[in-house]
Amino acid sequence: MTNEDLLFKTLTLGNMKLDNRVGVAPMTRTSATSEGLATDQMVSYYTSFANGGFGLIITEGIYPDDKYSQGYLNQPGIVYKEQIQAWRKVVDSVHQAGSKIFAQLMHAGALSQGNRFVNEAIAPSAVPPKGEQMEIYGGKGLFRLPKKRLKMKSQRSLMVLRMRPKMPNLLVSME
């Protein structure tokens, strides 16, 4: 069997069968609404990969709490019912096109450069990140000095998984 044969062989991942082993890596696009709702543009973006035959799509980093996890303005979230419903449009469309989709849950930490909930960043150490904020994602200049938080409050995002019975499937496999 050649490498190419292997690439296009099905793969069982947990309880899921992927059509092939070609996946889309997570790519932040900042094309959600300012309230973090997935848009029609995102439906079309993710569906285009599914139509192109990718067996698996991993979403852009999604913020899982309404505190410090958001990294960019117009980043999609998965905190509120409305945000979950908005993702449903993406998920259904990708499934209809025959692919699978996984959510990437992301905490931006010190690299947060746009957050609609709080006006500060937290990190394990009060050390500003090297380099400058990414202008393509709406940032400008140096990163802020994050507040040191050893026990992050955003561990709450893990609790969200346990507290909302309908969410685990959506978060883990978006099914």
Enumerate binding residues for ligand FMN (CB under 6 A).
25-28, 60-61, 104
Phi, psi of 66 (to 5 degrees): -105, 40
Phi, psi of 154 (to 5 degrees): -75, 0
Shortest distance in whole angstroms from residue 49 CB to ligand FMN = 13
Which residue's CB is nearer to ligand FMN, number 36 or number 61? 61
Which residue's CB atom is positioned nearest to ligand FMN?
Answer: 25
Which residue's CB is nearer to ligand FMN, number 136 or number 162? 136
Shortest distance in whole angstroms from residue 52 CB to ligand FMN = 16
Which residue's CB is nearer to ligand FMN, number 21 or number 145? 21
Which residue's CB is nearer to ligand FMN, number 45 or number 117? 45
| C-alpha distance from residue 89 to each of 45, 93, 94, 152 (Å) | 12, 6, 9, 31
CA 142/CA 10 separation, integer angstroms: 45
Shortest distance in whole angstroms from residue 60 CB to ligand FMN = 4
| Number of residues that this document lists for the chain | 175
Query: What are the helix (H) ranges across the chain?
Result: 3-7, 40-51, 81-96, 156-163, 167-172
Shortest distance in whole angstroms from residue 17 CB to ligand FMN = 24
